[in-house]
Chains A and B, each alone.
Chain A
Amino acid sequence: MRILVVEDDADLNRQLVVALSDAGYAVDAAMDGEEAYYLGDTEPYDLIVLDIGLPKMDGISILEQWRRSDKKFPVIILTARDRWSDKVQGIDAGADDYLAKPFHMEELLARARAQLRRATGHAKSEIECGSVRLDTNSARVTCDGEPIKLTSHEFRLLAYLMHHRGRVVSRTELVEHLYDQDFDRDSNTIEVFIGRLRKKIPADIIETVRGLGYRITAEDDAS
């Protein structure tokens, strides 16, 4: 899951990036409106945390332009302006949620998880595929109730596939959504991580679709 943080306050920006990275997301950061607009327009983010008061271009216009060019990623607005008229304006411009400063980082993380789940069509905080269960709240993976230890890259890969279970996810898509823009993208690493994952969870859960990518089957779609 790849997230763009748009915040012009350097400290807050850094804190957001750290907190989201720690929570297992690939995070890019933008400090001004133009950079934010460009990144959102060109990179396939799964979520954007957007400040409204930005230099060069304000958050609302950026959001409206993204929505006009049919960008569907969920957007959480983060702003000091917390009047309901501001919230309504933000939501009407295309935001999915609204968080007023000062906020608790836990709350932002909770909202981010909720938006990511919602965007991929999951109502519950837990996603199940066969014996493997992902708790998005605690960022823990269990197999038949037993906790599984994963590195952050392994977790990101599994979480992305599970969020998009039942769908073939190409290697390119995985690269785009698992690594931030500064990461040295080598699609071979994906194969390495898939291989490691298959050793930690039942190997047949991740299916290789030749020439297209990978898929986690959703046969156990009881949830």
Chain B
Amino acid sequence: MRLDSIAVRLIAASMAWTVIVLPLAGYLIYQLYRADVQESFDSQLQKLVTAITVDSMAEGASSPLPPPNRYEPLFEFTHSGWYWQIQPIDGQGGPTLRSASLATAALPSPLQLGYPPDPDTNMRWRNDVGPDGRSVRIVEVINTLGHEDGKPRYSIIVAGPSAWLEASVATFRTRLSLALAVAGLALLALMVFQIRFGLAPLQRVEQALAQIRSGEASRLEGDVPAEIEPLRDELNALIQSNEDIVERARTQVGNLAHGLKTPLAVITNEARSAKGPLGAKVVEQAQIMSDQVQHYLERARIAARVGVVGRVTSVRDVVDPLVRALERIHADKAIRISVQCPPAAMFQGEKHDLEEMLGNLLDNACKWSKERVRLSVETAPAPTRTGRRRLKITIEDDGPGLNADQRARIGKRGLRLDETKPGSGLGLSIVIDLAQSYRGGLTLTEAPLGGLKASLDLPAI
């Protein structure tokens, strides 16, 4: 996947979101939870201190009554973390009372330490370290016996283990982080899926484009998302206009070439009847022009359908009319053209091109043969790993054939091995050009019949 792809951009943006939003949310939840736990802990301490105050500051007593131990069993266990203490603060009013859990230790009074009271409840809060060495939260109420003014004041303190609070919050934090991490990962996975799903039409468009390039399709067809519809329409219009341009160019090259042929024939004939060096020169140059016209006409045909390999042609449908025509053209030689061609043999390419290749090869074979021409077609799996099947077409004749040197020279444009037989000399080079444009080839060897054996290698279906 490339870094500048839309998918990567979307995933990166989502990731950034997740990385920013999830921890922020986690922090917020953590703070809320912490405040909530703190509040409920504080309210428990508050309840306890209120109850102890009510119980101990009984009206009419000369000194505070030890509160009955019905609030918190842990007040009884030494260094349990839960403590209470009732201490006179004005130097009179009896001894200091303490919960059993405090043992001999004392809790310093926040009042004496200078903590201000909470304006709503008039209580003082403080965090400290308890006699057990763990942190405690302390709440203090200042009161008098019977709640009467002028009596000695007492500091009533309740302490609870805030270490437990911290531990609880820490556990929550761990769980929260874990849950958020899982949620984050799940979100990311979902986003990747969502982006993939959302971009799937683009991928289909990409495949369709590849098909157009490989010639399997000529248009961008099928349903596309609304956003891509204008793109599809524009693209199809572009393909159409491109085709039109190619077609126009091809037609014009064709018209030019065909238009030149008649004047060339006229010039050549005129020059041939004129004696002298001028006539000979004109004939020679007209021949060159004619070869050029022929060559570029062929090139234009080949170029016009480069990339169009999606067409399929039945070999049989091409061979039969060609054989029929050639037997007629060469009727005076009474040539037997034997054809061995499975009906299922399919050429992956344009009909015209196969016609040109087979027509030229068969025509050559007929021109040179004495009486027999043999054409055989077979499809074979490709030797390459692509697994595409290949079409093997061989055309043999019983004529004089060619020696190795001649076979090597053949195929050069305009080269004619024998000037006595008619022909433009372009036949084989056109066959080679065409075969190569299909990533195939032509090989010439000696035929068992005695003449030339031309073997075409072409893509099959």
Interface positions of A (Cβ within 8 A of B): 9, 11-12, 15, 19, 53, 80-81, 83-85, 87-88, 91-92, 95-98, 100-105, 107, 110, 114, 117-118, 123
User: Chain B residues near A9 (CB, 8 Å)?
Assistant: 262-263, 266
A124 to chain B: closest residue by CB? B332
CB of B226 closer than 8 Å to a CB of A: no
Per the bound structure, the CA–CA distance linking A204 and B205 in Å amounts to 88
Q: Which of A53, A84, A98, A101 contacts B265 (CB 8 A)?
A: A101
Per the bound structure, the CA–CA distance linking A142 and B270 in Å amounts to 31
Is B322 a contact partner of A84 (Cβ separation < 8 A)? Answer: yes
Is A101 a contact partner of B264 (Cβ separation < 8 A)? Answer: yes
Per the bound structure, the CA–CA distance linking A118 and B332 in Å amounts to 7
In addition to A15-B269, A84-B356, 15 A-B residue pairs with Cβ atoms within 8 Å of each other are: A9-B263, A9-B266, A12-B262, A15-B266, A15-B270, A83-B355, A88-B321, A91-B328, A92-B324, A96-B331, A97-B328, A100-B261, A101-B262, A102-B264, A104-B272
Most chain A CB within 10 A, of B261, B331, B352, B360, is at B261
Q: Which of A95, A97, A101, A118 contacts B261 (CB 8 A)?
A: A101
Task: Scan B234-265; emit 1 where CB is below 8 A from any A CB, else 0.
Answer: 00000000000000000000000111011111
User: Chain B residues near A100 (CB, 8 Å)?
Assistant: 261, 424
Task: Knowing A15-B269, A101-B261, A103-B265 are in contact, say whether A88-B332 is a contact too (CB < 8 A).
Answer: no
User: Chain B residues near A123 (CB, 8 Å)?
Assistant: 332
B331 to chain A: closest residue by CB? A118
Q: How far is the CB of B294 from chain A (nearest CB, A)?
A: 8
User: Chain B residues near A104 (CB, 8 Å)?
Assistant: 268, 272, 422
User: Chain A residues near B364 (CB, 8 Å)?
Assistant: none
CB of B14 closer than 8 Å to a CB of A: no
Is A84 a contact partner of B329 (Cβ separation < 8 A)? Answer: no
CB of B290 closer than 8 Å to a CB of A: yes
A114 to chain B: closest residue by CB? B332
Per the bound structure, the CA–CA distance linking A53 and B322 in Å amounts to 22
Task: Knowing A87-B325, A88-B321 are in contact, say whether A80-B258 is a contact too (CB < 8 A).
Answer: yes
25 A–B contacts, CB within 8 A, in A order: A9-B262, A11-B263, A12-B262, A12-B269, A15-B266, A15-B270, A80-B257, A80-B262, A84-B325, A84-B360, A85-B352, A85-B355, A88-B324, A88-B355, A91-B328, A92-B321, A95-B328, A96-B328, A96-B331, A100-B424, A105-B269, A107-B422, A114-B332, A117-B332, A123-B332
* Count of B interface residues, CB-CB < 8 Å: 33
User: Chain A residues near B286 (CB, 8 Å)?
Assistant: 102
CB of B359 closer than 8 Å to a CB of A: yes
User: Chain B residues near A103 (CB, 8 Å)?
Assistant: 265
Q: How far is the CB of B20 from chain A (nearest CB, A)?
A: 69
Per the bound structure, the CA–CA distance linking A114 and B258 in Å amounts to 27
Is B322 a contact partner of A88 (Cβ separation < 8 A)? Answer: yes
User: Chain A residues near B360 (CB, 8 Å)?
Assistant: 84
Q: How far is the CB of B285 from chain A (nearest CB, A)?
A: 12
A117 to chain B: closest residue by CB? B332
A84 to chain B: closest residue by CB? B359
Q: How far is the CB of A35 from chain B (nearest CB, A)?
A: 18
Interface residues of B in 273-326 (CB under 8 A from A): 273, 286, 290, 321-322, 324-325
User: Chain A residues near B322 (CB, 8 Å)?
Assistant: 84, 88
Q: How far is the CB of A105 from chain B (nearest CB, A)?
A: 5
User: Chain A residues near B352 (CB, 8 Å)?
Assistant: 83-85
User: Chain B residues near A85 (CB, 8 Å)?
Assistant: 351-352, 355
User: Chain B residues near A12 (CB, 8 Å)?
Assistant: 262, 265-266, 269
Interface residues of B in 120-166 (CB under 8 A from A): none
Task: Scan B91-116; emit 1 where CB is below 8 A from any A CB, else 0.
Answer: 00000000000000000000000000
Per the bound structure, the CA–CA distance linking A78 and B259 in Å amounts to 14
User: Chain A residues near B321 (CB, 8 Å)?
Assistant: 88, 92
Is B359 a contact partner of A102 (Cβ separation < 8 A)? Answer: no
Per the bound structure, the CA–CA distance linking A80 and B258 in Å amounts to 5
Is B329 a contact partner of A98 (Cβ separation < 8 A)? Answer: yes
Q: How far is the CB of B293 from chain A (nearest CB, A)?
A: 8
